Structure 1
Amino acid sequence: MKISSQFDSGNILVKSAENPLDIQLEINKDKSSDFFQWFHFRLETQQDQLHKINISNLENSAYPEGWDNYQAVASYDRQTWFRLPTSYENGTLTIECEPECSHLYIAYFAPYSYERHLDLVYWAQGHEICEIETLGHTLDKRDMTVLRIGEPASDKKNIWITARQHPGETMAQWFVEGLLHKLLDDEDAHAAALLSQAVFYIVPNMNPDGSVRGHLRTNAKGVNLNREWQSPSMESSPEVFLVRDKMLNLGVDMFLDIHGDEALPYNFVAGSEGIPSYDDKMKSLEESFKSALLTITPEFQDEFGYPKDEPGQANLTVGSCWVAEQFKCLSYTIEMPFKDNINLPDADYGWSDRRSYSFGQDTLAAIVNVVATLR
């Protein structure tokens, strides 16, 4: 029996792997930080035999509440990811499986590899209305890439979408993949309506270094990018510095920052109620966008989510809050679950890469409801 994580986004520490009924593992921390929750490894073993995999020390993980009612995902072909029977007690996550093949991949959520990221970016480039710009480079010397979709004009709105500031939140890039496929479909009516009024600037992966390293929340230096937006630096957070600089150069009329939430079993949005400049227009735009999304898809709800900030109490180091205050625009963080959408549960797959993909397409359609009134 062998357990390996020596691949893109791999993360696991093997403590003991001699007895298939008592495999003992732990999760490595993000570099230079105390964050840990993302795991991704391959089990090579005898098929059709029961295995019990115990991942311990999770009471000290980033979000211990995220393990309650959670089920790990697994795949034989790295294409279809299904849920495994999983339980959590006293800081230990126990995953049970009887592999049908000799090799089985197991992860926190369906991984989104750096190679797939590159495939998505250069697939997009094949469309006439899409241009790639390399803004600069990360600390590990990877490209920071933004896709411009549509023809700029003074009367068009600038809509920005970023994903995966927290690299372990892979559902965010599955979301963007779905959104891009719809936006670049030249027969799609929603895309046509939007591109006649707006230009999109999309950063599919804000944290490529953390993604490859198998981090949960930080970049190569152990920095949480979504706490860097007030004062980023090229030394510690070049990813935010470069994207923020481009925003300041071009302007922003709408911003969506795509994330995943470890604990809450819902899709929801977090707005900008607590920023100093929050006003009736922002509130109206938020309500219009949420109303459209509620109509378009039952995957979305607005009853459960984060507590709303009191007036003037927003954390302006957070991307969506800084953008809302800087540009006085509609700005939302969109959150998806690691667990399942409890309103529409799926025992076999839970919330998944495919559902994230579809939710991205539904969200693009909802933007149609507000695009004309963004300025």
Structure 2
Amino acid sequence: MKISSHFDAGSIEVVQFDDFSDIQLKIRQDNAASFAQWFYFRLQGAAYQPCTLRFLNAGECAYPQGWQDYQAMASYDRVNWFRVPTTYDGQTLTIEHVPLAGSVYYAYFEPYSYEQHLNLIGQAQSSGLCDVSSLGSTIEDRDIDLLTIGHEVESDLKIWIIARQHPGETMAEWFVEGLLNRLLDPQDPTSRLLLDSATFYIVPNMNPDGAIHGNLRTNAAGANLNREWNAPSADKSPEVLAVRQKMLETGVDLFLDIHGDEALPYVFTAGSEGVPSYDERIARLETLFKEQLQLACPDFQDEIGYPKQEKGQAELTWATAWVAEQFRCLAFTLEMPFKDNANLPDDDFGWNGQRSLRMGEAALSPILAVLRHLR
């Protein structure tokens, strides 16, 4: 029997693995920070053996409430992922599974590899509708990729979408893939109408270093990028610094920051009601956007989410708050679950890459609905 994680986004610590019925593991912290929740590893040599895998430090992780009603994901080919029986006793997370092949992968959520990211960039460029550019470099000198789709004329509305500030929230890049599939389809009428009057600026992966390290929440320097927006620095958060500078050049009329939530089993948004400039115009836009998103994709709901902040209480270090205040625009954080959507559960797959992709496709409909009201 062998356990390995020396691959893109791989992450695990092995304590003991000499007994199929008592494989002991620990979830590794981010490379330069104390956050721990993401795991992704390969188990070999256990075909047809009843395996019990125990994560001994699950109760000490960043979001222990995230393990309640959670089911881990597994795959034999890293393409088709499914849920496996998982329990949590308040300290130890336990997977019980009989692998049907000699090699099986387990992960916190369906991964989105750096190779997939590069393929996504290449496919978008090949559409002929998309310009690919680099905004700068990460701590470890990887490209911060920007996709620009539209005419880039001054009269265009400027739609900004970013994903994976928190690298372990891989559902965010699945979302972007779905959105791009639809936006770059010349036969899609919604896409055609949008691109008649809007330019899209899309950063599919804000944190490629953290993604490759197998981090949950931080970049290679240990920075939580979604706490850096008020004062980013070249040595700690160059990713935010580069994206923010480009936003200041282009302007922003609508902003979406795509995330995943460990604890809540729902798809929901968090708005900008806590920023000083929040007003009735933005409130009406928020309501229209959410109503149209719910019509476009019933996986979305607006009853359960984060508590709303009082006006003036928002942390401007967060992307949505900083953008909303800086540009006086409609801005949302969109959250998808690591678990399942409790409103539309799927016992085999839970929430996964494909459902995130479909949510990304659906998101173009509410963008179109609010477009003419943005200015």
Aligning the two structures, in what range does the TM-score lie when normalised by the shorter sequence? over 0.9
Q: In structure 1, what is the Cα distance between the partners aligned to 2:166 and 2:148?
A: 22
Matching residue of 1:44: 44
Matching residue of 2:329: 329
Q: Deviations over 1:279-322 (max 9, x none)?
A: 11110110110010111111000000000001110011000110
Please tell me the residue identity of whatever aligns with 1:188. D
Please tell me the residue identity of whatever aligns with 1:116. Q
Classify the secondary structure of the residue corresponding to 2:116: helix
C-alpha deviation, 1:32, in angstroms: 2.4
Q: Deviations over 1:226-258 (max 9, x none)?
A: 000000011000000000000001100000000
For 1:339-358, list aligned pairs within 5 A. 339-358=339-358
C-alpha deviation, 1:128, in angstroms: 2.0
Classify the secondary structure of the residue corresponding to 2:354: helix
Q: In structure 2, what is the Cα distance between the partners aligned to 1:85 and 1:71?
A: 6
Matching residue of 2:170: 170
Matching residue of 2:248: 248
C-alpha deviation, 1:45, in angstroms: 1.6
| Paired residues of 1:268 and 1:301 also in contact (CA < 8 A) | yes
**Which deviates further from its counterpart, 242-251 or 364-373?**
364-373
C-alpha deviation, 1:46, in angstroms: 2.9
C-alpha deviation, 1:156, in angstroms: 1.0
Q: In structure 2, what is the Cα distance between the partners aligned to 1:313 and 1:98?
A: 50
Q: In structure 1, what is the Cα distance between the partners aligned to 2:295 and 2:125?
A: 32
Q: In structure 1, what is the Cα distance between the partners aligned to 2:219 and 2:47?
A: 37
Classify the secondary structure of the residue corresponding to 1:370: helix
Q: In structure 2, what is the Cα distance between the partners aligned to 1:75 and 1:175?
A: 20
Classify the secondary structure of the residue corresponding to 2:372: helix
Q: In structure 2, what is the Cα distance between the partners aligned to 1:154 and 1:205?
A: 26
Please tell me the residue identity of whatever aligns with 2:288. S
Q: What RMSD over aligned residues (CA atoms) do the two structures have, in Å?
A: 0.6
TM-score (norm 2): 0.99
Please tell me the residue identity of whatever aligns with 2:191. A
For 1:90-101, list aligned pairs within 5 A. 90-101=90-101
TM-score (norm 1): 0.99
Q: Deviations over 1:195-245 (max 9, x none)?
A: 011000000000000000000000001100000000001100000000000
Matching residue of 2:32: 32
Q: In structure 2, what is the Cα distance between the partners aligned to 1:69 and 1:247?
A: 39
Q: Which runs of 4+ in 1 moved over 4 A?
A: none
| Paired residues of 1:197 and 1:372 also in contact (CA < 8 A) | no
Please tell me the residue identity of whatever aligns with 1:332. F
Which blocks of at least 5 consecutive residues in structure 2 are unaligned? none
C-alpha deviation, 1:31, in angstroms: 2.1
| Paired residues of 1:266 and 1:343 also in contact (CA < 8 A) | yes
How many residue pairs match? The answer is 375
| Paired residues of 1:269 and 1:333 also in contact (CA < 8 A) | yes
For 1:1-375, list aligned pairs within 5 A. 1-375=1-375
Classify the secondary structure of the residue corresponding to 2:158: strand
Q: Indicate the percent of aligned positions where both proteins have the same amino acid.
A: 56
C-alpha deviation, 1:365, in angstroms: 1.8
| Paired residues of 2:41 and 2:106 also in contact (CA < 8 A) | yes
Classify the secondary structure of the residue corresponding to 2:166: coil
